[in-house]
Amino acid sequence: MRVAYVFFNGELLGSKEYYLNLMKKNKGDIYCADGGANLLEKLGVVPMEIWGDFDSVPENILEKYEKSGVIIKRFPKDKDFTDGELILKYISEKKYDKIIVIGGLGGRKDHELTNLNLMFKFKNLIFVSETEDIFAIENYREFVGEKGKTISFVPFSEKVENLTLKGFKYPLTNYTLHQGESICMSNIAQEDICVVSFDKGKLIGYKIIYIGGILC
C-alpha cells in the first residue's frame, strides 16, 4: 500500500511518540503545507516537499529544510486555494492508496471545517490525531478488525439516502439520515467485518481511538 503523509498548519493533537510511531509503522512519503513545517520541526522529521505562501513559517526553518534537499514551492498569499488544497491536488495525482493528514484538526474552526470538506474533493484522505480518525465514506465501506471500536457517522449533506449499517450494535436498513440527526452517533462495531452502504449523499466516519488515555 502506497501511503502519503501531509502535514497541515493545525495542531499536533497528541504526543510526539504517537506520530513518530505511526510513520514508522506505516512508512510513506512525507509532504507539508506551509505551517505544517513547524510541526515537522517539533518531530524532527524531514519532508520531501513543502508548499505554501509561508506566512506561518519562520524563514530559518525553511532555510534548514532547503539545505537538507527539501523541495520548497512558494505561492502568493492572494490565491483561490488554501496551501493544503494546493498540495493535495498535487499528491492526489500520484495515486496513493491512503493520504494521512496530520495537523488538519485543531486551531481555527473555519480552517478545520474547510479541511474536513477536502475529503469530498480528494479520495483516500484520512485526518488523524492520537484520539481519533476522521474519513469520508463513498457509498460502501467495510470495517475489518474493528470489533469493539466506537464509530460515529455524520451526514455532510442535506440527507444520506438508503443508509444501511451491518455488524454494528445499532444496525440500520435503508434509512434516510438527515442533516442534524444524531441516530448514528457512538455506534459500536460488533462483528469482525462491519459494512456501511448508502445510495446518495455525503457521509463522514469518526472513529474514536482513545478516551481519557484508554485505548478503545
Instruction: Look at residue 214 in the predicted model and tell me its pLDDT.
Output: 47
Query: For all residues of the chain together, what is the average pLDDT?
Result: 94
Domain count, the chain: 2
Grid coordinates given for 166:
451491518
Same structural domain, 166 and 98: no
| Shared-domain flag, residues 207 and 116 | no
Contacts of 69 (CB under 8 A, 6+ apart): none
Residue 89 lies in a domain: yes
pLDDT of residue 210: 60
- Spell out, as residue ranges, where the chain has pLDDT lower than 50: 212-214, 216
Residue 86 lies in a domain: yes
Mark residue 169 as left, alpha or beta (left: phi above 0; alpha: psi -120 to 50; beta: remaining).
alpha
Q: Domain for residue 160, yes or no?
A: yes
Pair (80, 48) in one structural domain: yes
Q: Same domain for 166 and 126?
A: no
In a shared domain, residues 126 and 103: yes
User: What gap in Å lies between CA 113 and CA 204, rounded to an integer?
Assistant: 12
At 78 the pLDDT is 80
The whole domain housing 44 covers: 3-130
Contact 34, 51 (CB under 8 A): yes
The answer to whether 23 and 5 have CB atoms below 8 angstroms apart is yes
Asked whether residue 117 is domain-assigned, the answer is yes
Determine the Cα–Cα distance for residues 147 and 35; give it in Å rounded to an integer.
37
Q: Which of 103, 130, 157 is the last residue of a domain?
A: 130
Per-residue pLDDT, 108:
87
Q: Could you tell me if residue 135 is inside a domain?
A: no
Note the pLDDT of residue 162.
98
Among 130, 156, 172, the domain-final residue is 130
Residue 187's nearest CA partner among 204, 169, 175, 174 is 169
The answer on 122 and 24 residing in a single domain is yes
CA distance 147 to 194: 8
Question: CA of 67: how far to CAs of 63, 87, 181, in Å?
Answer: 6, 21, 51
Secondary-structure percent of the chain, ordered helix, strand, coil, rounded to 5 = 25, 35, 40
DSSP state, residue 34:
T
Helix, strand or coil, per DSSP, at residue 181: coil
146 lies in the same domain as 43: no
Same-domain check for residues 145 and 126: no
pLDDT at position 50, please?
A: 97
Q: How far apart are CA 85 and CA 109, in angstroms?
A: 16
10 found inside a domain: yes
CATH number of the domain enclosing 162: 3.40.50.10240
**Are residues 120 and 86 both part of a single domain?**
yes
Structure pTM?
0.92
Are 8 and 106 members of one domain? yes
Q: Of 107, 130, 153, which residue constitutes the final position of a domain?
A: 130
Report residue 93 as a C-alpha cell: 495525482
148 and 199 both lie in a single domain: yes
Is 60 in the same domain as 145?
A: no
